[in-house]
Amino acid sequence: MEKFVSKFGWFFLNISWVLSLPINAAQWLLHSLPWIVVIFLVTLTAYLSAGIRLALFTLCATFYMVLIGYWEESMNTLSLVIISVPLAVFIGFGLGVWGYFSKRAEKIIMPILDIFQTVPTFAYLLPILLLFGFGTVVGLIASILYSFPPMVRNTILGLKRVPDNIIESAIMSGADPKQLFWQAMLPSCKKQILLGINQSTMAALSMVIIAAIIGGTADIGWEVLYYIRKAEVGQSLVVGVVIALMAIIIDRITSGFAQKSDQEKKDLRPPKNIKISYLSFALAGSAILFIFARLFEALDDWPYDLSIWLASHINDLFDTFVETFRAEIKQIKNYTLFFIMLPTKIGLQQAVSPFTWGFQLEMVHKIFYFGSLLMLSLWLLKNKKNDFFVFTLLIMIFMYFGLTQMPWPPLLIIYSFFAWQIGGHKLALGTFFGLSFIVVVGMWPEAMISVYLCGIAVVFCFITGTSLGVWAAHSSVVSAIVRPINDTLQTIPLFVILIPFVMLFKIGDFTALLAIIIYAIVPSVRYAEHGIRNLPSEVIEASKMMGSTRMQLLFLVKIPLAMPVIMLGLNQTIMYGIAMLVIAALIGTNGLEQIVFIGLTDGNMGKGLIAGISMAIIAMIVDRITKTISEKRSEALGLTIK
């Protein structure tokens, strides 16, 4: 690797130099414009995209950035996003179109996308850092690489979903291939493509923020990180909110345009001169405000002494909270640690001690433990629930010895066997070789620590999240409460989510666990609600007419039918969990993610990269397994998942 770099380094440095030009230009532009002009333009865009409410929100949110004195940093971040998104969209759209028209291209592109999206975000930065050196360009390249895959996927999906009869009718209208594509197919899938742009923009923003970890960009992500490291949690929250607001605004504006592309068909098309008048309004407004800003210094550079310092108040608030509930917080933390996390990690065998559980593990306890679980499993076997029988036995063994204490050969075999049962020999082979790679490179212990932390979070998320989703599907009130929370959690960049938990529980595994849970629970809730709400109504009505009670209806009809969708939710929960796990390395965990992180900060590229690949392997295996389960179920039920 180093040889490669020394040989071709000049080449990459040149690319780096070329790419830095547009960034510098964008930064120069955004900095030299007075803040009031930028706010005016952004607010106007928001108004055009989604109306007056978003415009007001945008106005307040952007003014907040000015008020707390982080305008410059925010603009640095924005300029990176502004430059990387068009490039990512351009690349993504091109590859998507290519993938649509050429089966062979699709076969090559799809696995690459999978890898790009499962490799932990930090691991992205490693090779780029190596090739391009430090600086803003690394953030730019990383965010382009991270944000083009959703564009490719949405382009392919959108083009595939263009109805056959539209294509046929366009051909019969005499369209040549070019006209067919630009005038019939593309407009028909405009919404999907705009959704792709929305997702790409969000991915770009989150990557720009994460890229701040290597520094040199003076952007808003760097500020947050700086304060987290200095343990000035209040200040990091104040700045973190800027990122969250920025994410929400960008998300709402782009998705607003996507929604609008669907709705505008309702009203008669506005005459063309309205568009022109908006443009001239924007220009005139900017010009006037620009002159005002020249006259009044405050409109150009917000005076330092007028900035508001919220951090100390927040710190005080949290301190009092932590003071008041010190005992409770400690108890929650300890209970989770002693009764759930430790047993899973090192097994009941070691976790049970007078200090944690209040007694020593005696023969009696062991006999009772194995005896009762064996009885349960035998009972399950008798009732022909073979899956649950195997499951119970495995849980029994796991919980006794602990995930990280089990030697690797049996685990490797169990995982591969599991994969074979679900997806046949191909999946089993993939699992076997993937995991063997992790063993060979010596990452197995760390991998198991990652699995353990993520595993607990996923199990918790799946159970509570799915229940919450089912509840939301039946109650419009719950749904109305849950939805905006989910939306927000999904738009906020990952490491802002960490901040409040760090404030309450300090750093460590437990805090990481909570952060993972809060982020990864979202898809479980979403998919469960979606799955239940979109069941075919005939089936529900038929079951009601057969006289099933609400509970019977739920457990015998709705949940089994919605299972494929719920399983997709599990899949997404795991993926989200892994994504958050990587970020959680910031607050001190011990798994693979930590090695990646250390590799990044210490410059130990090789090890970090291997750890990153190991994580990607685990993610891909779990992804394939859960997706296969979902597909098999939906095939058996004859349902198509929307």
Partner 1 sequence: MKNIQSVSKKVKMSCQNVWKVYGENPNDFFSNYSHTEKDPSALSKELSDHGHIVANADVSFDVHIGEIFVIMGLSGSGKSTIVRCLSRLIKPTAGQIFLDEENLLEKSEKELIDIRRHKMGMVFQNFGLLPHLNVIENIAFPLKLQGLKEKERIKKAERVIDLVGLAGRENNFIKELSGGQQQRVGIARSLAVEPDVWFLDEPFSALDPLIRKQMQDEFLRIQSIQKKSVVFITHDFQEALRIADRIALMRDGQIVQIGKPVDLILSPKDNYVREFTKDIPWESVLQASDIIDKGKKISETAEQVPLDMPVAKMLHLLSKKSTGVVVIDRSGKKIGMATAQSFVAALATAEN
The footprint of partner 1 (CB under 8 A) covers 163, 165-166, 168-176, 179, 183-184, 187-188, 190, 265-266, 268-269
- Residue nearer to partner 1 on the CB measure, 269 or 382: 269
Decide whether 196 or 564 has the Cβ nearer to partner 1. 196
Compute the least distance from the CB of residue 267 to partner 1, in Å: 9
Cα–Cα distance for residue pair 565/463, rounded to 1 Å? 15
Q: Contact, 579 vs 571, CB < 8 A?
A: no
How far the first Cα of the chain sits from its last, in Å, is 44
Provide the minimum distance between the beta carbon of 187 and partner 1 in the complex, in angstroms, as a whole number.
4
> Sign (positive/negative) of CA torsion 100, 106, 110, 116?
negative
- Written as one letter, the residue type at 200 is S
Distance between CA atoms of residues 204 and 192, nearest Å: 18
Backbone CA torsion sign across 39, 41, 47, 50: negative
How far apart CA 66 and CA 527 sit, in angstroms, is: 38
Minimum distance, C-beta of residue 163 to partner 1, in the bound complex (Å): 7
- Unique residue bearing structure tokens 């599907």: 473
In the complex, what is the shortest distance from the CB of residue 177 to partner 1, in angstroms, rounded to a whole number? Answer: 8
Burial class (CB in 10 A: 0-12, 13-18, 19+), 330: exposed
* Gap between the Cα atoms of 417 and 424, Å rounded: 9
Q: Which two tokens stand for residue 271?
A: 């005459």
Please, which residues have CB within 8 angstroms of residue 591's CB and are 6 or more apart in sequence? 446, 447, 449, 450, 451, 452, 453, 581, 585
User: Please, which residue, 111 or 187, has the CB nearer to partner 1?
Assistant: 187
* 155 neighbors 38 (Cβ within 8 angstroms): no
Cα–chain center distance at 467: 21
CB of 166 to partner 1, least distance (A): 5
Rounded Cα–Cα distance for residues 549 and 528 (Å): 20
Minimum separation from the CB atom of position 256 to partner 1 (A): 18
Minimum distance between the CB of residue 283 and partner 1, rounded to whole angstroms? 29
Q: Which is nearer to partner 1, 197 or 583 (CB)?
A: 197
Question: Whose Cβ is closer to partner 1: residue 168's or residue 301's?
Answer: 168
Calpha distance 474→553 (Å, rounded)? 12
Give least dist CB 188 to partner 1, A.
Answer: 6
Cα separation, 407 vs 448, in Å, equals: 11
The tokens for 436 are 């063997």
Q: Shortest approach of partner 1 to residue 274 CB, angstroms?
A: 16
Which CB, 175 or 282, lies closer to partner 1?
175
Amino acid letter for position 395 = I
Torsion over CA: 592, 593, 598, 600 (sign): positive
Complex with partner 1: residue 163 or 407, whichever CB lies closer: 163
Question: Considering the complex, what minimum distance in angstroms separates the CB of residue 262 from partner 1?
Answer: 9
The CA distance from 93 to 152, in Å, is: 6
| Nearer of residues 174 and 354 to partner 1, judged by Cβ | 174
Whose Cβ is closer to partner 1: residue 190's or residue 385's? 190
Nearer to partner 1, 180 or 521 (CB): 180
